[in-house]
Structures are given as C-alpha cells and as structure tokens.
Structure 1
C-alpha cells in the first residue's frame, strides 16, 4: 500500500501553487521527516514552488505530560529557532508556529500561503497565457472568435430591442 501511495502522491503535486510544510513542534520525528522525505520529494516534482513552513501543536510545547513523554524518549520539542533556521535553509517564503486548538497564529499561516500563491500566480500567469495560446490551433481560435462575436451580436441585439 505504501509503495502505491508513493507512486500516486506526486500526481497531486502537478497543479499546486504553494506547499504548506507542516510538522508538530512536539513530534521531532515529523520535523526530521520534512527534511528527509517531503522536501526532497517536493523539490523533485515541483522545483521552484513556494514553501511555507508551519510548526503545529504550539499549545503542547510547554505541556507537562508531553514534555515528560518526550524526555522518556530522550527527545525535546522542536524549538522556534530550529524552525526558523530550516525555513531559511529551504528558502521558504514564510515560517509560522500555530495551534489549531487555541487558534494562535493559525490565520497568519494560511494568510502566508494565500499570499505566496497569489504572488506565484501573478508571476506565472503571463507565461501561462502565452503557452496556452501557442497550444491552441488556429481553427480553435477562429471558432472561439466566431462564438464570442455571435454572443456580442446577440447582446447588442438585445440592447437595441430594449430601446425600441
């Protein structure tokens, strides 16, 4: 099953405008997985895509039970500085730590992703439009022109009916 998902997952990347790379600040293994698995995969399939690094479960970073559990495994929460450093190394467009439970910084994380997507779309839209026009055949363009011309005439005809 895992091998099948590994093959299918990159198909979902094709039209992504931005990637939110999320890890739990209280699960260091999720932070390591970003570095070892997810970042290389995204760079392979979507080079140049904007990245937003997001540390989640911020509300648990100072939770006593969580700290005890981590200490029993010789681990500690992922620090803010570690996240900032990784974001810088990756060239991420932004870094945020948030909590879905308390809503702290949650909006900021999504706003960063939206902004990155808009900026990416703006810079790519002109190139994309040119590429799309080149791919269309002259017949297709002619057909579209005739269709729009008919629609314009129809609208003009309706307008002139209103004035009579």
Structure 2
C-alpha cells in the first residue's frame, strides 16, 4: 500500500492597500452625493437622486501610501436612524457636511449630527466639511470659512475642509484629510 504525502496547500493572494471606511453624513440636499460621485467619477452631474444608501469605492495615494476607500452615504432622514447606527459602527472617520448657503444644515451639525455620532461612535474622528463653497460668490448670506473653523473648534473635530463639487475644487482634499485623521487617531492609540 502506497501512502501519499501529506500536502498542505496555502493560497496566497497579493495584499492590496488597506481599506479605510469613511462615512459621509449631513442633511439632505447639502451636496453629499455630488461630493462622492464627482470625486469617484471625476464628472459633475446636476441630477438629484432621492435618498438611498450608497457605497462608493476609490483608491487614493496619501503621503506615498496607497489606500482603498470605502465611502458610505447613509440616508439622512430620521426614520433611518437604526441603519445609520449600523453604518457608524464601520466608520474610521466621519465626514459631517453642511452647505455654505444653508444655515439650517450648518446649525444641525451641532444640534443633530454630532450628538448622534457621539452616541454611537464617540472615539471616531470627525471631519467637518463645508460643501458648495462656490456659492459664496453668488450669495452674501453664506456661512463664512471662519464660522466653519470656529464650529470645528467648538465640536473638537479633527479637521475642517471646504470644497465645490460644481467647480471640482477641494474634493480630493476632503478624503486626504479624512485619511490623515484616521492615521493620526491610529498613531495616538499606539502611543
């Protein structure tokens, strides 16, 4: 009787760049979907699509290191609180958005979005993002950059960025800053 040798087979797959889960929240109509779609497709679309859970994927290099972004956009409606709670559990950084031409969306950052985030994931870094920055040139009643920076300090957020999906300005900065917030947080946990 012939015995066959015991063979252990290990399949190795090349290791890709690390995944980073970023959750994008804010009131409806502030420009979250435009931010994500324009960043991923490099094309701006004026078409508004109604609320739905969206997930986008994009590879990016920051400070010489490659990352695979998993970008979550949960539905902003209050009836979807439980779904957002689940998605917050995946977050390594949360980008809280407001539109510079929408005072209510700016106020709800501190009265609704940040309290909700603190309830479910208080140790996750928060990046404050002012969207539709191009509208400042057309509307004198916009939230100023200094007001955004002040709110960042009040909320003890990890960072503040501004962008315009329409002009394609500052989009990559949002995600570079989010990754930097994650890396800084990881470094603090190790130290």
TM-score using structure 2 length: 0.55
Three-state SS of the structure 1 residue aligned to 2:176 is helix
Runs of 4+ in 1 over 2 A off after TM superposition: 118-124
* Paired residues of 2:110 and 2:155 also in contact (CA < 8 A): no
Q: 1:47 & 1:23 partners in 2: Cα distance? A: 20
Q: How many residues align?
A: 115
Asked if 1:87 is matched to 2:152, the reply is yes
- CA offset digits 1:35-78 (Å, max 9, x no partner): 11100000111112111111000111121xxx3xxx8xxxx211
Q: 1:104 & 1:5 partners in 2: Cα distance? A: 31
Match of 1:6 in 2: 81
Match of 2:128 in 1: 53
Q: 2:107 & 2:93 partners in 1: Cα distance? A: 21
TM-score using structure 1 length: 0.63
Shift of 1:33: 1.4
* Paired residues of 2:159 and 2:177 also in contact (CA < 8 A): yes
Three-state SS of the structure 2 residue aligned to 1:29 is helix
* Paired residues of 1:17 and 1:120 also in contact (CA < 8 A): no
More strand by share: 2
Largest Rg, 1 or 2: 1
Residue of 146, 170, 183 corresponding to 1:105: 170
Q: Unpaired segments of 5 or more residues in structure 1? A: 127-164
Q: 2:114 & 2:81 partners in 1: Cα distance? A: 14
Farther-moved stretch of structure 1 (105-114 vs 77-86): 105-114
Shift of 1:3: 5.6
